[in-house]
Structure 1
Amino acid sequence: MQLHHQLFNILLALGAFLTGATDGACDPQKAAIVGGNYTWLVEEKTIKYECPDGKYPHPAEIRMCHGSRWNLMRDAQKRPVSKARCRDIRCARPLEFENGLYEPRQPYYNVSQELRFECYQGYTLRGSQNRTCLPHGKWSGQTTTCDDGAGHCPNPGIPIGSLKEGRRYRIEDQVRYHCENGLSLMGSKSRVCQESGAWTGTEPECRNPFTYDTPEEVSSQFISSLTEVAESSDPDKVVSDTEKRRIKITPDGSMNIYILLDASQSVGKKNFNEAKDVINKLIEKVSSYDVTPNYAVVTFATKPKVIVSTINQQSNNAAWVIDQLEKLRHEDHALQPGTNMKAGLSSVYEMMVNQQEDEKRKQLDPLPIITTTRHVIILLTDGNFNMGGEPVPVIAQIREFLYIGRDRTVDREDYLDVYVFGVGEMVNVENVNELASKKTNEKHVFKLNGLEDMQKAFDEMIDESEALSMCGLAKEYESANDGEKNPWLVSISILRPGRGTEMCKGTLISDKSVLTAAHCFTIDDTADDIKVKIGKKTFTVAALKSHPQYSVGKLRNLGIPEFYDYDVALVTLRDKVTLSAEARPICLPCTAGTTRALRRPHPQTTCREHEEELMSVGNIPALFVTPCHVKDSPGLGLRRRTVRIKYGDQKHLCEEDAKKAKQYQNVTEASQVVTERFLCTGGAEPEVDPNTCKGDSGGPLIIAKRMRYIQVGVISWGVVDVCKNKAPSYCDQSRDIFEHAPDHARDFHINIFKILPWLRLELHEEGLDFIH
């Protein structure tokens, strides 16, 4: 493996030399890291280091070429630094512990080591008695304190790696925190004991540069404060003191969500594009509830760009906002290399002022922007800025505008939340921490190990809901497993004694029903012969119903042995499926869930409008999912294959190729076997379409819209079996066996829009809420 890394680095260095990326000065090999690998980013003239699990790059994850030297990216004096090495991840040590003892006492702690705390007699231990050093350099559990109950406020404790000033805990008493050298403080640097008995601000945490929040931590902490708006918008709900505060929208109130995205060179194009996907996930989450916040989207580098303003009439249309996001390009700021974070935040303040003026013109009294609107600022940045001045004063200006902190007798803190997510490889923890809100028992600043982890966190937020209206969801990030990427796909096996087992696919459409192809079954098959696998669990079947108009032998008197019109069936499971990341229903057309997925108003939207949006004239991009053997792995994987539904001028040609199927030698007119209930894919125009295989029967033909998956067809039959006698080993190949398929290799799928009356009849008790 080490030899492979050395060869890889030599090739990188050679490539850099040949492209002139080094300008004859910086040699990537001279900045190679001991015990790890590096990636040479030619355009940025930087090197990014990578270390094995359990280690981190020291002294920094990235170095930049300045003249003839490799320096740290943030080193303003451009001083040379020591050779990069991969060091073991370790957890910080306690610097002090009040009123008790801990063991073992060491200068540092390795991953999996445990600390145990004990209090002196007369003191009560609060927090975690045992804490374990975790793989990302954080300690498990909560800060341990030993409290005698003598103070008005409880002992706030001393987080590991920090020192505390202040030992009196009466009303108005203050404590201050400092981190050990090399650690960065996240949370509140000072806290004040309040009359309520609670400390102001957020408990501090001292972090190593390599320490990150996990997606699970972000999901649990961020969601409790932001995304439970559906439950919290109930004005009659009684929230106990022990519950976490949630942003609420009162019946006469509203919410503004301002999303700011750092587009500077230090963040980089890759992080910028991934951050866009993360923001889409966030909007998807918030808009899944029955609230319609106004959104603002701002990008900034040297200058800010307001992409969406809260005063735009469509700013509460999540679909429109996502469309605007997808048009964003990092290159829009390419000629402006500076970073003016203050200007980006100032554009939010100006937006608020403009909204106030708009409300004054409408003669609203009192003004909602100040009195009832909740404001949420979400900033994705690496925290670095080099022009415009300090951005923190703008937050103070916004607080003043919203009358927050003006009157100590009126607490308006809930009307503004500022969340900051550290983005990029060189996050300035101190800067992002200063910008974030500091609220008791809450966390508003996060640093994750890459944008993929942030996307995982938002996926976790979505997956907490088990409502059937949240259909068509899947995890999109690379490390998700096949079940998480395609949670609606199921495998069906039919045991036929003496004849083996028939295998088909299907889709989960509710917690008890699976949609598949009728031709997968024979008249002799019973429910006991059928097993359905969803995720890792196998289910038994209670009932099987094929479409009453399906009859495979209907045209045998015409010499046509097979006829697949109405080739659909419903399998009812004996037990309900517990919805999870690997088991979620797909969206069906003309249901309330799909209306929400398409971001259309309910119940005003009609079934015809669904069809017009999904089945527009032309070559409609769609996909199906097929098994494949992953290279160098004995397991069976899944791959999505992109096809085009021929729904325009090529529709007739596609259907005509049905006559070339072996079983249709006696067919004179394609319309004899291709009825209006079929969709056609395949062929070589406008591009080569992949073809389905025999085991794909019953699976879904899917259209993806706004990060949701909607089934428009059921895989039925094909003209040519391109997979016959060939192992489906095309997981990591682009075209492979399909490049050699004949142009008339077509696939036919039952159009779900055409069988809706039967689905409505059979599924009326499944909670799908069909529309007309």
Structure 2
Amino acid sequence: MAMQHQPGKAARPPASAPRPPSGAPRSSPCPWLCLVALVLGLLPGGVGTTPVSVAEPQRPCSLEGVEIKGGSFRLLKEGQALEYVCPAGFYPYPVQARTCRSTGSWSALQTKDQKIVKKAECRAIRCPRPQDFENGEYWPRAAYYNLSDEISFQCYDGYTLRGSANRTCQVTGRWDGQTAICDNGAGYCPNPGIPIGTRKVGSQYRLEDSVTYYCSRGLTLRGSQRRTCQEGGSWSGTEPSCQDSFMYDTPAEVAEAFLSSLTERIEGADAEDGHSPGEQQKRRIVLDPSGSMNIYLVLDGSDSIGARNFTGAKNCLKAFIEKVASYGVNPKYALVTYATDTNILIRVSDAESSNAAWVTEKLDKISYEDHKLKTGTNTKKALLAVYNMMSWAGDAPPEGWNRTRHVIILMTDGQHNMGGDPVPVIQDIRSLLDIGRDRKNPREDYLDVYVFGVGPLVNQENINALASKKDKEQHVFKVKDMDNLENVFYQMIDESQTLGLCGMVWEHKDATDYHKQPWQAKISVTRPPNTHENCMGAVVSPYFVLTAAHCFTVEDQLHWIKVNVGGKKQDLHIEQVLFHPKYNINGKKAEGIPEFYDYDVALIKLKEKLQYSKTLRPICLPCTLATNQALRLPLSTSCQKQMEELLPAKDVKALFVSELLKGGKLTRKEVHIKNGDKKAACERDAQKAPGYGKVKDISEVVTPRFLCTGGVDPYADPNTCKGDSGGPLIIHKRSRFIQVSLSFPSRGDAKWSARAQSRKGQQMWLERGQSRLALGLPLNWLAQDHGVAWLLRRTGPSGFLVYFSQGSAGAMGAAVLPEVQEKFYQMTHGTPCPCRLV
């Protein structure tokens, strides 16, 4: 049983054997293990306000007289608080937020020097002036600086300037660039500088000398107030800054500072393992599927949060889990909710804790109502739960404890109304991990506590007290709202090395149509004298677009065909259009079937290689290794198993992408693949299409290679339009998009009843004996001589690999499965395949 820590009684294990978290693996391919605790506590309490007591009934506050000159206000926490909102470049004076007290009156409009103001107003944002500058000069000197004002620094003779010589006042009220410092190198430690807006006491920089920083009245110090010169010539703590209540960190600033610090932890751990991370790793988290990680999700469910914010926090965490899992990373998760009490819903020791789908399902089931009987805010107790999960049973620590690196990410407003101060728990965790005891080996790299304050009602002093303080790193952040926080998570993950991953999308609120459908291709054919044919397609590799054969005729000239991808208006140059050799639209006219759409598949080969980006990515195709990875299946999973995963024997939700006639906007439309007892009825509807009424056997028209959607039973599916032909029919699973078919236009004219408006797609199967294997394309076609030249590449003296190259050089993101590769080789060589995958 794990050791249980009692509040106020910090465990002090011997220095020779401090205790890391319970459940830590005894060995790992990587020597680092990040323990991430996400504590989402949004908006309880406020800056310079009195938290609402949960024990007293809340009287409503009147809105009379609360207006702000030059701005507006919005209510928070069901009317228990309000936030003043000003136009860009302005801030609310004298306070940004007010709380409704239990007496039914609003908190006072009080200035930083305790003066009462009658009415709030919006004032112009200004940047603070330098309180002091050592060993040099700055100009212009002014009492204050407006937005876009510039300031310049210059050192006296004998001193060298570090930092930014010129700085500009930004719209956030902060100066851009880095602190300007004039240093002559005479100290044991370098001059730590005086950040703009702060005052520094202490000018000696010998070993163990200290300096202390202060802020002007009304400003809050972020970072370290006291810093000490340490062995090795570095300063303890982190550079301070003075923050006003209206100041927020932008998502870009947070992502850069947070990731710069966090990847230093990864870099240090990789160095111990003999790896040297590249420059890209220092700028972004490079998601490494071989890495080991424990993530603790801790949600505040107290009364001050409210159901809406709690649900928003859940959605943010679900998106984060799916985002991480979609890159093939499988961390272990813990899930904790808290208010007065703490509920541990998932432990990292649970067998399924690394199964993202299972964790997301558990997360979906938790409710804000779980804590409705005891709705206090006990942040300390939540951190104690993290502490206890980091502990272990018995006296002997697990093997490798001293190589474990711990990261806590705390998202809160810094308020608490019961349980006591949570800061001592952070100190206890440091003691548990033997951090800061040995001056020569302080082990500071083995614990990082990042604190994110979300929203206007943030106690900046409290969140600063909880965060780690390290030289040249930032561990405390204040973001404006949940949208900004979500943006941070999108920016913090580097996708430059994963743009070739199939079926990935970027669905942030600022995403364009092609961020959301990056595989979508628009195809147009202009035939003389002036007739047009419009179709859709899907990017499947850097050189190929998959579409329907009926979009073209054998007489079409290549220069008649235009292909656009990624939302760009630039037409791509076409090298060749390859039709399925068995496609013949007139093949059954003699049998009274006017148009026969079996094998209605074509590939457009491009002359120039596509350069993938967030708006241009390939879609996943069945029966590939990439799709096994996308579905989080073992790489050895067969095509048949993939088919069962994607198309079980029941109706399956799918979607297609259609272009609106007005404005050309792309929109997703949900349909249902009739793969159960509705399938036969759906297929029979094809007989009601014009020209097919005399067909006696529907299997002559709808072959086993078709999927069927449409109609109104059991769901009213939308119809495709003519311009949707050739576009992908897609299954969205595990945050990835997998094409299982091609779209075929509905017959939407008056001759058809609503039920008869069905759509058929060219199902992607490879026939192998009596079995059907779900596959991106019928490979019996691709194995013909005209296809083998561009789909086969030699992997050795006697082996071949079939693939669509979906990434940068060397990436084999869509290598087909061994069973398909073997059949491919057998068909083209007449002998068993000596294939091997690379």
Normalised TM-score (structure 2): 0.78
Note closer, same or farther for the CA distance 1:65–1:245 as it changes in structure 2 (3 Å cut): closer
> Are 1:651 and 2:679 counterparts?
yes
SS of 1:313's partner is coil
Rounded Cα–Cα distance in structure 2 between residues aligned with 1:415 and 1:483 = 41
SS of 1:351's partner is helix
Note closer, same or farther for the CA distance 1:708–1:661 as it changes in structure 2 (3 Å cut): same
| Equivalent residue number for residue 174 of structure 2 | 138
Note closer, same or farther for the CA distance 1:710–1:83 as it changes in structure 2 (3 Å cut): farther
> Are 1:770 and 2:808 counterparts?
no
The equivalent position to 1:476 in structure 2, one of 507, 524, 529, is 507
Could you tell me which runs of 5 or more consecutive residues in structure 1 were left unpaired when the two chains were aligned: 1-21, 725-739
| Equivalent residue number for residue 734 of structure 1 | none
State whether residues 71 and 87 of structure 2, in contact with CA within 8 Å, keep that contact through their aligned partners in structure 1. Answer: yes
| Equivalent residue number for residue 187 of structure 2 | 151
Rounded Cα–Cα distance in structure 2 between residues aligned with 1:225 and 1:185 = 20
User: What is the number of residues matched between the two proteins?
Assistant: 721
| Equivalent residue number for residue 271 of structure 1 | 309
State whether residues 257 and 375 of structure 1, in contact with CA within 8 Å, keep that contact through their aligned partners in structure 2. Answer: no
> Are 1:346 and 2:384 counterparts?
yes
- Offset, 1:351: 0.9
5 Å matches for 1:423-434?
A: 423-434=454-465
| Equivalent residue number for residue 297 of structure 2 | 259
1:592-615 CA distance string (max 9 Å, x none) = 3333332333x2333333322322
| Equivalent residue number for residue 28 of structure 2 | none
| Equivalent residue number for residue 375 of structure 1 | 406
- Offset, 1:699: 1.9
> Are 1:191 and 2:227 counterparts?
yes
Q: Aligned letter for 2:144?
A: Y
SS of 2:745's partner is strand
Note closer, same or farther for the CA distance 1:718–1:99 as it changes in structure 2 (3 Å cut): same
5 Å matches for 1:714-729?
A: 714-720=742-748
Which deviates the most, 235-244 or 517-526? 235-244
Q: Aligned letter for 1:617?
A: A
Rounded Cα–Cα distance in structure 2 between residues aligned with 1:242 and 1:667 = 62
| Equivalent residue number for residue 608 of structure 1 | 640
Rounded Cα–Cα distance in structure 1 between residues aligned with 2:643 and 2:759 = 21
Rounded Cα–Cα distance in structure 1 between residues aligned with 2:375 and 2:509 = 30
1:547-588 CA distance string (max 9 Å, x none) = 222222222222222222222222232222222221222222
State whether residues 645 and 681 of structure 1, in contact with CA within 8 Å, keep that contact through their aligned partners in structure 2. Answer: yes
Rounded Cα–Cα distance in structure 1 between residues aligned with 2:484 and 2:384 = 29
- Offset, 1:507: 1.9
> Are 1:550 and 2:578 counterparts?
no
- Give the number of the structure whose alpha-carbon radius of gyration is greater: 2
SS of 1:319's partner is helix
State whether residues 179 and 195 of structure 2, in contact with CA within 8 Å, keep that contact through their aligned partners in structure 1. Answer: yes
Q: Aligned letter for 2:718?
A: P
The equivalent position to 2:565 in structure 1, one of 534, 559, 569, is 534
1:336-376 CA distance string (max 9 Å, x none) = 321111111110111122xx228x8xxxx761473333322
Which deviates the most, 701-710 or 121-130? 701-710
Could you tell me which runs of 5 or more consecutive residues in structure 2 were left unpaired when the two chains were aligned: 1-56, 766-773, 784-790, 792-801, 806-811, 820-838
SS of 1:28's partner is coil
Rounded Cα–Cα distance in structure 1 between residues aligned with 2:711 and 2:83 = 44
State whether residues 694 and 721 of structure 1, in contact with CA within 8 Å, keep that contact through their aligned partners in structure 2. Answer: no
Q: Aligned letter for 2:653?
A: P
> Are 1:65 and 2:100 counterparts?
yes
Which deviates the most, 39-48 or 557-566? 39-48
Which deviates the most, 227-236 or 672-681? 227-236
Note closer, same or farther for the CA distance 1:660–1:340 as it changes in structure 2 (3 Å cut): same
Rounded Cα–Cα distance in structure 2 between residues aligned with 1:649 and 1:49 = 58
Note closer, same or farther for the CA distance 1:269–1:628 as it changes in structure 2 (3 Å cut): farther
Note closer, same or farther for the CA distance 1:366–1:461 as it changes in structure 2 (3 Å cut): same
5 Å matches for 1:174-573?
A: 174-226=210-262, 233=270, 235-238=273-276, 244=282, 254-287=292-325, 292-353=330-391, 356-357=392-393, 367-368=398-399, 370-467=401-498, 470-537=501-568, 538=570, 539-573=572-606
Note closer, same or farther for the CA distance 1:499–1:148 as it changes in structure 2 (3 Å cut): same
Q: Aligned letter for 1:54?
A: G
| Equivalent residue number for residue 164 of structure 1 | 200
> Are 1:119 and 2:139 counterparts?
no
- Offset, 1:56: 3.6
State whether residues 109 and 118 of structure 2, in contact with CA within 8 Å, keep that contact through their aligned partners in structure 1. Answer: no
Rounded Cα–Cα distance in structure 2 between residues aligned with 1:74 and 1:396 = 34
1:198-252 CA distance string (max 9 Å, x none) = 2222222322222222222233333344469998747222469999599999999
1:64-117 CA distance string (max 9 Å, x none) = 433442337999xxx997534333333332222222222233333333222222
Rounded Cα–Cα distance in structure 1 between residues aligned with 2:265 and 2:357 = 19
State whether residues 623 and 775 of structure 2, in contact with CA within 8 Å, keep that contact through their aligned partners in structure 1. Answer: no
| Equivalent residue number for residue 731 of structure 1 | none
State whether residues 58 and 104 of structure 2, in contact with CA within 8 Å, keep that contact through their aligned partners in structure 1. Answer: no
Rounded Cα–Cα distance in structure 2 between residues aligned with 1:119 and 1:560 = 88
Note closer, same or farther for the CA distance 1:664–1:312 as it changes in structure 2 (3 Å cut): same
- Offset, 1:289: 5.9
Rounded Cα–Cα distance in structure 2 between residues aligned with 1:248 and 1:528 = 42
Rounded Cα–Cα distance in structure 1 between residues aligned with 2:604 and 2:286 = 42
Rounded Cα–Cα distance in structure 1 between residues aligned with 2:193 and 2:374 = 46
State whether residues 294 and 316 of structure 1, in contact with CA within 8 Å, keep that contact through their aligned partners in structure 2. Answer: yes
| Equivalent residue number for residue 5 of structure 1 | none
- Offset, 1:484: 1.8
SS of 2:637's partner is coil
- Offset, 1:174: 1.7
Q: Aligned letter for 1:167?
A: S
State whether residues 159 and 205 of structure 1, in contact with CA within 8 Å, keep that contact through their aligned partners in structure 2. Answer: yes
Note closer, same or farther for the CA distance 1:696–1:102 as it changes in structure 2 (3 Å cut): farther
Rounded Cα–Cα distance in structure 2 between residues aligned with 1:498 and 1:653 = 42
| Equivalent residue number for residue 727 of structure 1 | none
| Equivalent residue number for residue 617 of structure 1 | 649
